[in-house]
Chain A
Amino acid sequence: MKAFEYTEPRTESDAVALLSEQPGHTEILAGGTDLVGLMKKMIIKPERVVNIMEIQSLQNIEQLEDGSVVIGAAVTLDEILAFPYMENYPAVTDAILGINSMQLQSQGTIGGEICQRPRCWFFRNGTGLLDDKQVVEGDNRYHAILGNTGAAKYVSGSRIGPALIALGAQVRLVGPNDQEQIIPVAEFFRTPRSEHHRETVLDSNQLLTHLILPAKQSATNATYEVRHGAGPEYPLAAAAAELEMDANGIVRKASVVMGQVAPTPWVSAEAVQVLVGKPVTPEVAEAAGRAAVAPATPLSQNEYKVQMSMVAVKRAILRAAGLETGGF
């Protein structure tokens, strides 16, 4: 790890003032479960680290009067699990439980989870994130099957991101200076065009402060991950679904977002098109899964992820509808 200046601001504005507009100069430290490893391997070498864990406003999780839930970026994942008003957001809690690591759940924060860097092994071994030649010619078994025609062929690291998008969640960003904006999570993730860009729209002089989950009247949402084992390894495929059904169980509105398939969480309009107007059955869910992966363009070694992602979508939909998913 390279020596760096360590700062511990107490307010959001103090934190923003410490951030640099120069990419790579400053890193934000929350739980540190991702940042510290990357710094130890010298993949990133900030001059300054801004610890945001002492900023009180980022520590709160509360349900507002309108029923929405606001979660500070520094709230840990297990604090979210313990929060009593999460029952209508199983898509979020499913994804947190799927992390399967007490350490990561108790140390990792929600802000860090959605800002984490990709697991791409080329990136993690220091050979860059956007050198697509190394991915095309190399071992790409865990890489993208959708949205992979450009230089970015890694998959988005966030496991909660698909659920947040499916639920219509928003994030609050502050900086530079006193600027503040609230944007949908769907617009937060982006595919970078150069190594200087990150995988989100968060600029290097901006701070993610809060996550806002919209009020929900029912728990008809879910996340399903296809995991190789029972450890904290990242899933091989994942999907989150939210359904709005009428009294007859007919889907009136839906949102389906896949994880581990593209450089961002991948919103599937194709799956929604299959679902809307139909009751949720295993056959309909499977058809939605097939529609979701129809545009897939697998690389040389990850064809298997097409089938797996289809199953993830199918099972996320079934789970959101309260039906048996099958599998283990």
Chain B
Amino acid sequence: MAQVEDKQAQGPQGPYSWPSRKDSKVIGKNHERMDGIEKSTGAAKYTYDVNLKNQLIAKALGSPHAHCRINGIDTTAAEKVPGVVDVHILPHAEAGSEIKWQGELLAIVSAESEGAAAEGVDALKVDYEVLESFTSDSDLKGAEEAGVTARGGGKVETVNEPGDDDDEDEWVDAEIERLFKESKHVVEGYYGIDAITHCCLEPHGSTVAWEGDKLKAYLSTQNVSGTDEGFANDLEISADSVDVECTYIGGGFGSKFAPDYWGIAAARISKRTGRPVKLMLSRDQELKLGGNRPSGYLQVKLGANADGVVQVWDSHHWGTSGVSGSGVSHTVVPYVLVPPNYRRKATAVRTNLVRARAWRAPNHPQACAITQTAIDDLAATMGKDSYDVFMANLVNANNEKADVYAEEMKIGAKLIDWKAKWHPHGKGERNGSIVEGLGMALHTWGGVANTSECTVKIHPDGGVSSFCGTQDIGSGTKTVCAMVLAETLGLSTNQVTVNYGSSTYPFSGASGGSTTVGAVSESHRRAATDALTVLKGKVAEKIGADAGTLVASDGRIHVAGNKDKGLGWKEACGLLGLKPLEITRGHTRGDASPLSNSGVGGVQMAHVCVDLDTGVVKMKEFVAVQDQGLVINPVTCKSQIYGAVIMGIAAALYEQRIADPATGALLNAELADYQLARLGDIGDIKIELYEPESERQRGVIGNGEPPAISPVAAISNAVANAIGARVSTAPYTPQRVLEALKNA
């Protein structure tokens, strides 16, 4: 039995705080990723690498049609393929079922080998009745004619209010008309951003095995602590009967929160066959089903005063998140810079495409791309420097971060040398067919700490281990946990063992919404602080000192200011006797805490070159200035920003889910055809962590998603600055650039 301390040491917030910048030994210092070697050498075992003894390999058949009815599936030939053990028709593909998007899995073949499973899938004979499909999400008129639109929400806000006798709609029409007449500058524009897919390098999937009535699931997931319940609910067993494990994950980006129906099916097949089953989506299935970000297309008219500050905004946007409609939420339109008067209306377009999944900072990148481009067009209309127009519009910032943005803009401008390089839109120097341009955008995000519990065990031999049901989605969570423990206990990170990635450990929330760094910093700091308090008590007794005067640093617990009066770590731990000290502490999402906070901002600037003859855009330089409260590990924090910016560059210039307008088939659902940014495409990326004392005092805030928000708008604005014309819709491909130039 371990010694269990399960009461908070003091009050709800306890004695928890972060050391000052000066006193920090580990926090705020660059620390290399603790699993970097494993990952770079291939020693790290991802879900895809898990192979269990006697396992079956399962492969699935996806619908080739975007919309069809299944009249029946003949499994006879598939069952006869040598090596095939099980053929499973999914419940939604029973005879008579309607399939509403291409790629939807219909049946799963489990076999002794991958080849046999594939041959089994190929031998399935499906009787399809092809139905009409609609996938042209940008085509609002076509969608209306097809009857696939629905109201997607909206809001009107005006400084003046209608009189009691006024018809509200008529009054709003008149008031907005009046505001436009009063405006010194009016801009009308159309902006869009196509849907993209998550493209996780490791596809969705799992290897599952039953041990009696207990299910062990090796699942590629961002939600270790929550997916046991996901399995349990569908399999009608208790969550206690499911152990989910995921130590390494090859990309999630918001798409891997659940076991998914194919994971549940794998568990059913495993139960039926009595053998472990491995089912990972194929590459095309991953791109078709594994996750996509909704599209957004916006028609807007805005009016600004003589200073270029927007006073009135009137927009209608539409887009799709697939079969359920919806699209980009109206609540983030216009984005961050919200004028005092606005009318926004959204229309949802229902398409024969799989439902969207969360993609880094849901809604924000699209909203930024389709609205902050209009701010830049305002600058172009006025013939003013975009930087000055953005700066002027900070009075409209809706998140009380105007001052922070202003500082971040100044830093960004200096890093990219904005004032020296900027030129009026389309009026830059031309070098042969090459022109250059600058653009900027800004963003916001929450980043609240998720709920998280952590057990810290201190062993009598000095060993320290932590247990937390979080996951490291590649962002350096393990390293952060170790750093927090080391800082708190006065040790180095190699003296602590961090255990995570198992649902048998104390609960920790899903890694979504940039909530993990706050979550694990909270739980690890709290548990370690309280464990140290117990240990200090024992040391105090031993050396005859007041426990309140003791500190832990450099591997000793000693009286503050007197290193000699104290004990070495190991000796101190020896005072625990035979039993380890075990303390579990946690934080609940939303509770006020001195350790974490929410609400971040960032400013990004892009410098691009465009070849006017070919329409090819090339990144030259990109600057990201980001605030995120207190930074635990600057190097992995910056890594997050690099990754986000690179994904943003990809979305701006290359990425696009292409659905065939005639058939609804997804045409580029292979990485050979789905273009992403390569190292040679990203230019020089400069990152600045904005962390003055005022930010540091706020505590830890997540930054995983926010830097992925601004790149598309910043790059669009840079392209517009370079060529003097707006390429309306992202990605800004050579084709679209040439078309914009032709129509300019």
Q: A-side interface residues toward B, CB under 8 Å? A: 1-3, 37, 40-42, 45, 100, 119, 121-122, 124-127, 134, 137-139, 141, 226-231, 233, 236-237, 304, 307-308, 311, 324, 326-328
Contact = CB atoms under 8 A, between A and B. Distances in A.
Nearest to B737: A304
8 contacts: A2-B115, A121-B673, A125-B665, A126-B64, A304-B734, A307-B613, A308-B738, A326-B433
B51 interface: no
A327 B654 contact: no
Contacts of B114: 1
Contacts of B734: 226, 228, 236, 304, 308
A231 B677 CA distance: 8
B613 A134 contact: no
Interface stretch (B295-303, B313-321, B656-664): B656-664
Contacts of B658: 139
B432 interface: yes
Given A304-B734, A327-B611, A231 B681 contact: yes
Contacts of A324: 432
A299 B8 CA distance: 71
B69 interface: no
A141 to B, nearest CB: 6
A98 B116 CA distance: 38
B616 A226 contact: yes
Given A45-B122, A230-B678, A327-B614, 19 more contacts: A119-B672, A125-B665, A125-B667, A137-B662, A139-B660, A227-B616, A228-B654, A228-B733, A229-B677, A230-B681, A231-B676, A236-B735, A307-B613, A308-B734, A311-B614, A327-B433, A327-B611, A327-B616, A328-B609
Consensus secondary structure, chain A interface: loop
Nearest to A4: B115
A31 to B, nearest CB: 15
A138 B135 CA distance: 12
Contacts of A237: 614
Contacts of B376: none
B739 interface: yes
Contacts of B122: 2, 42, 45
Contacts of B119: 1-3
B434 interface: yes
Nearest to B610: A328
B606 interface: no
B284 interface: yes
Contacts of A124: 670, 673
A229 B653 CA distance: 9
A37 B283 CA distance: 11
A227 B615 CA distance: 10
A121 B614 contact: no
A106 B616 CA distance: 28
A138 B661 CA distance: 6
A231 B667 CA distance: 19
A226 B737 CA distance: 14
A199 B679 CA distance: 34
Contact of A229 (B284, B654, B672): B654
A134 B615 contact: no
Contacts of A326: 432-434, 611, 613
B434 A1 contact: no
A212 to B, nearest CB: 31
Contacts of B115: 1-3
Contacts of B661: 137-139
Interface string B672-691: 11011111110000000000
A3 B735 CA distance: 42
A111 to B, nearest CB: 20
B739 to A, nearest CB: 6
List of 5 A-B pairs having minimum Cβ-Cβ separation, nearest first: A230-B680, A231-B678, A326-B432, A137-B662, A121-B667
B42 to A, nearest CB: 16
A326 B609 CA distance: 13
B183 interface: no
B665 A127 contact: yes
B275 interface: no
B618 interface: yes
B668 to A, nearest CB: 6
B651 interface: no
A3 B111 CA distance: 14
Nearest to B81: A3
A327 B613 CA distance: 8
Given A124-B673, A139-B660, A327 B668 contact: no
A324 B433 CA distance: 12
A139 B666 CA distance: 10
B720 interface: no
A229 B678 contact: yes
A308 B611 CA distance: 11
Contacts of B733: 228
Contact of A226 (B118, B614, B663): B614
A224 B613 CA distance: 14
A8 B615 CA distance: 47
A304 B118 contact: no
A328 B660 contact: no
Residue among A119, A125, A326 with most chain B CB within 10 A: A125
Contact of B735 (A42, A227, A304): A304
Contacts of A125: 665, 667, 669
Contacts of A328: 434, 609, 611, 616, 618
B660 A304 contact: no
A233 B675 contact: yes
Contacts of B670: 124
Contacts of B669: 125
Nearest to B741: A307
A311 B614 CA distance: 7
B663 A134 contact: yes
B743 to A, nearest CB: 12
Contacts of B672: 37, 119, 233
Given A2-B118, A308-B614, A327 B434 contact: yes
A64 to B, nearest CB: 37
A271 B556 CA distance: 81
Given A231-B675, A326-B432, A304 B616 contact: no
Contacts of A138: 660-663, 667
A304 B737 CA distance: 10
Contacts of A137: 661-662
A190 B668 CA distance: 26
A6 to B, nearest CB: 12
A3 to B, nearest CB: 6
Contacts of B654: 228-229
Contacts of B738: 304, 307-308
Contacts of B284: 41
Contacts of A311: 613-614
A227 B734 CA distance: 9
Contact of A141 (B432, B665, B735): B735
Nearest to B649: A229
Nearest to B614: A226
Nearest to B680: A230
Contact of B118 (A42, A121, A127, A233): A42
A311 to B, nearest CB: 5
Nearest to B674: A233
Contacts of A233: 672, 675
A304 B433 contact: no
Contacts of A139: 658, 660-662, 667
Contacts of A100: 678, 680
A236 B658 CA distance: 16
A37 B662 CA distance: 26
A326 B611 CA distance: 9
A121 B613 CA distance: 26
